[in-house]
């Protein structure tokens, strides 16, 4: 069985400060990892993905994530956040037949001026 | 290039009524997925199609739920005899069959059962 744990339900952060959102996963099959962002009353937008290769992946809007197999983690980082980064962020795990995604519970980021 | 579209965006219905949602995937995407998202939670997988074939259904998909994808293009999700517990955001996503594992999501349909 697959599972995803996002360790922080809410992360308040000041504008222009760095932010890290933590994600741990459990899987017995091939691992494909994703981060999605969801703005209020909208669908999910793909930020970045890890399929194979380099463990440091860069995404849109200045976000990056590092895949760590030994720690079964895929933490998301941004060196300097903007007010517009206020949203909910979801870590997701694929790799089963049909590649349905298993999502974490989400981390709500609130950027303060 | 248009993304995934869903209709309606919002639906309010009374308990016991039937509702149907539509999803139009990105053109030429073979796979189509339905997820349900309740308030404060991550999306949960419901079912997926490859072309017109429904290949997997979650145990969350009770017998009141049915999904179709005729001709392998748009898909519909119908809920019969709605219950208050069905209130949620229903998300549709599509994915190319080969060479990509990411899914592209639509804006969702928010269902409120009163």
CB contact under 8 A, B56 and A101: no
* pLDDT level of residue A35 (50, 70, 90 thresholds): very high
pLDDT digits (tens, 9 = 90+) for B19-30: 999 999 999 888
pLDDT digits (tens, 9 = 90+) for B20-63: 999 999 998 889 999 999 988 999 999 999 999 998 899 888 89
Read off the pLDDT of each residue in A61-80 and give the average, rounded to a whole number: 96
CB contact under 8 A, A41 and B95: no
CB contact under 8 A, B40 and A51: no
Of the candidates B6, B56, B110, the beta carbon closest to that of A98 is on: B56
Which residue in chain A has the smallest CA separation from B5?
A43
Instruction: Tell me the pLDDT of chain A averaged across its residues.
Output: 93
H/E segment holding residue B104 = strand B104-105
Query: Is residue A86 within 8 Å of residue A98, measured between CB atoms?
Result: no
Q: Give the percent of chain A with pLDDT over 90.
A: 80
Query: Is residue B11 within 8 Å of residue B24, measured between CB atoms?
Result: no
Q: In angstroms, what CA-CA distances link B15 with A67, A91, B29, B70, B81? A: 45, 33, 34, 28, 7
Give the pair of three-digit tokens for residue B19: 């509702």
Q: Give the percent of chain B with pLDDT over 90.
A: 77
Tokens 């017998």 found at: B63
Q: How many alpha carbons fall within 13 Å on the CB side of residue A46?
A: 20
């Amino acid at each position: 069985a697959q599972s995803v744990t996002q360790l922080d339900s809410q992360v308040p952060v000041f504008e222009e400060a760095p932010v890290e959102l933590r994600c741990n996963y459990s899987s017995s099959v091939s691992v494909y990892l994703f981060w999605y962002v969801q703005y209020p009353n909208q669908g999910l937008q793909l930020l970045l993905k890890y399929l194979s290769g380099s463990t440091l992946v860069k995404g849109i809007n200045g976000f990056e994530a590092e895949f760590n197999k030994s720690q079964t983690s895929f933490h998301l980082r941004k060196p300097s956040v903007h007010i517009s980064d206020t949203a909910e962020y979801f870590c997701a795990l694929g790799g089963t037949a049909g590649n349905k995604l298993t999502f974490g519970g989400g981390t709500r980021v609130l950027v303060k001026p | 290039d248009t993304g995934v579209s869903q209709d309606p965006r919002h639906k309010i219905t009374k308990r016991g009524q039937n509702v149907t949602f539509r999803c139009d995937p990105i053109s030429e995407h073979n796979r189509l997925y339905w997820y349900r998202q309740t308030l404060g939670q991550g999306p949960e997988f419901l079912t997926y199609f490859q072309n017109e074939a429904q290949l997997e259904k979650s145990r969350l998909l009770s017998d009141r739920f049915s999904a179709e994808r005729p001709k392998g293009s748009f898909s519909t999700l119908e809920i019969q005899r709605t219950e208050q517990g069905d209130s949620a955001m229903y998300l549709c996503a599509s994915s190319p069959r080969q060479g990509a594992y990411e899914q592209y999501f639509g804006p969702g349909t928010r269902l409120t059962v009163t």
